[in-house]
Structure 1
Amino acid sequence: MMKESVQADASALDGPALFATMSSMRAMRRLKPDAVPDETLEQLIQAAVWGPSGGNMQCYEYVVVTDRDMMARLAPLWKRCVDSYLATTGKYAPAGMDEAAYGRMVAAIEYQRDHFAETPALIIPCYRFPEPRIDEEGLIASAQALGPAGTEHLMNTQTRFQALAEGSCVYPGVQNLLLAARGLGLAANITIWHLMLEQEWKETLGIPEDMRTFAAVPVGWPQGNFGPVRRRPVADVIHRDRW
């Protein structure tokens, strides 16, 4: 069960500036329609590029949408994805979450859905994971290192392993992007709802078939104010030395 969240520790404000940024980086969904300068958006992508990727392969690409006509074409896709989420996973508040707080979050999601065509910028992080080069000798050495049970487990979890390998190459950069947005006074939030209709999104945006998308990040100037996030207490999530 989810334990009651608390506001970010005020002592974070006494630490490095980055701590204050992280402790006030709410998911901001109500955006002003005002344009974000291209050079500012490029700063966000630069921050993302500074993030690590597996093997330092750097096989990421970023689609940055600011064209009003394109955003209007994406708006119906966004609405279908959000409506699907709100009808299923997002229909009820998670266990332990305050109903009023959840209601406010849903209201913000609905506002973003209804005003999506006015979104100043949308960033789509993409990644094309290269085919691994593994020969027979390598496979034998791997099996010897893992042992029979470990090798069988790896074979049975290849889909999950591949998904996590790709995600680990993309999401550190996305977090950098979100932190940079907060530092520049921009509102942003990470979503993956577009994956429900990923093929349609890719076709609309001309994204190559072999390129996978990992998020849709709306970006703009906030209507509201940044403030302390509400998260579970650190003492409740630490397991020292073992579970």
Structure 2
Amino acid sequence: MTIEKVQTAESATDGPALFATMSTMRAMRRLKPDPVPEETLEQLVQAAVWAPSGGNMQCYEYVVVTDREVMARLAPLWKRCVDAYLATTGKYAPKGMDDAAYGRMVAAIEYQRDHFADTPALIVPCYRFPEPRIEEEGLVAYAQALGPAGTEHMMNTQTRFQALAEGSCVYPGVQNILLAARGLGLAANITIWHLMLEQEWKEALGIPEDMQTFAAIPVGWPQGNFGPVRRRPVADVIHRDRW
């Protein structure tokens, strides 16, 4: 089974409207230079704010870039990140993916790279995870609950756990942005390539040192058309009750 053998979204049009939105939410990288109204961008951030966050702490912030001069300063950083991606991870099509389809995706990535300065808007979701308040008594109870093996495992994977905890507070909001953009007829796609040069991005945008960034989302009116996404069939990815 290759990625080209996919389940289409035709049946989604018979369900809730949200299903049709999700099933046609392609990563759209070719954007018109036309500006996106400020109130529309605020709608996207509002959608993000409606998403859940861990402990309902809501420690997120969103940098929304529309200034042409700022975007022009970001364009060289974007180019460096994209070029690094295409030279390594993105050099070859993933196993099972059709070379022609991958070539079309790379062409869209290159187009976005070469026209990034004309991107109408860019949204950068940020999060500052608060320091936990844990007393010694709580640590003892924590270790007792997990047991020796579980406690050791958590000690060895704390960095990954922290990263996933932060991500789980941000990415539901990111998905809401993408869904809201599609619902409003806007093109958008999630990228994390900026993390290769995150410090330079943070300096360019004045983001505080202790604030983490989680994505760079270009937003604009699409040059192309939305259409059914091509994804693996559910029967190929679902495991019932156990692996």
| Structure 1 and Structure 2 fold alike (TM over 0.5) | yes
Distance across 2 between alignment mates of 1:208 and 1:2: 44
The alpha-carbon deviation at position 4 of structure 1 amounts to: 3.9
Measure, in 2, the Cα distance between the counterparts of 1:2 and 1:10: 20
- Structure 1 runs not aligned, ≥5 long: none
Q: Percent identity?
A: 89
Deviation at 1:10?
0.7
Assess if the C-alpha contact under 8 Å between 2:30 and 2:223 holds in 1. Answer: yes
Alpha-carbon distance between aligned partners in 1 of 2:115 and 2:7, rounded to the nearest angstrom:
29
Looking at structure 2, the residues matched to 212 and 3 of structure 1 have their Cα atoms a distance apart, in angstroms, of 33
Counterpart residue type for residue 224 of structure 2: G
The amino acid that maps onto 1:54 is G
CA contact (8 A) 1:124 1:216 kept: yes
Code of the residue aligned with 1:106 in structure 2: it is V
Counterpart amino acid of residue 113 in structure 2: R
Q: Contact 2:32–2:220 (CA<8 Å) still a contact in 1?
A: yes
Give the match for residue 52 of structure 1. 52
What TM-score does the superposition give when structure 1 sets the normalisation length?
A: 0.99
Q: Which residue number in structure 2 is paired with residue 78 of structure 1?
A: 78
Q: Which amino acid aligns with 2:53?
A: S
- Distance in 2, Cα, partners of 1:28 & 1:51: 22
Distance (Å, rounded) in 2 between the aligned partners of 1:218 and 1:225: 17
Corresponding letter in the other structure for 1:235 = A
Contact residue 7 and residue 228 of structure 1 kept, 8 A: no
What corresponds to 1:232 in structure 2?
232
| SS in structure 1 of the partner of residue 218 of structure 2 | strand
The runs of 5 or more residues in structure 2 that have no matched partner are none
For 1:168, give the aligned amino acid: S
Equivalent position of 1:9 in the other structure: 9
Local SS of the residue matching 1:89: coil
**2:192 pairs with 1:192:** yes
Work out whether residues 9 and 24 of structure 2, in 8 Å CA contact, stay in contact via their aligned partners in 1. no
Displacement of 1:240 in angstroms is 0.2
Secondary structure of the 1:6 match is coil
Q: What is the CA distance between 1:9 and its match in structure 2?
A: 2.9
For the residues of structure 1 that align with 2:9 and 2:218, how far apart are their CA atoms?
27
| Matching of residues 58-207 of structure 1 within 5 Å | 58-207=58-207
State the distance in 2 between where 1:99 and 1:2 align: 11
- Which SS does the other structure have where 2:219 is aligned? strand
Aligned-partner SS, 1:215: coil
Question: CA–CA distance in 1 between the matches of 2:192 and 2:70?
Answer: 19
- C-alpha RMSD over aligned residues: 0.9
Determine the C-alpha separation between the residues in 1 that align with 2:151 and 2:135. Answer: 16
Residues 66-88 of structure 1, C-alpha deviation per residue, up to 9 Å, x if partnerless? 00000000000000000000000
Q: Does structure 2 conserve the Cα–Cα contact (< 8 Å) formed by 1:2 and 1:94?
A: no
Deviation at 1:6, TM superposition (A): 1.2
Which amino acid counterpart does residue 98 of structure 2 have in structure 1?
A: D
Query: Displacement, 1:181?
Result: 0.1
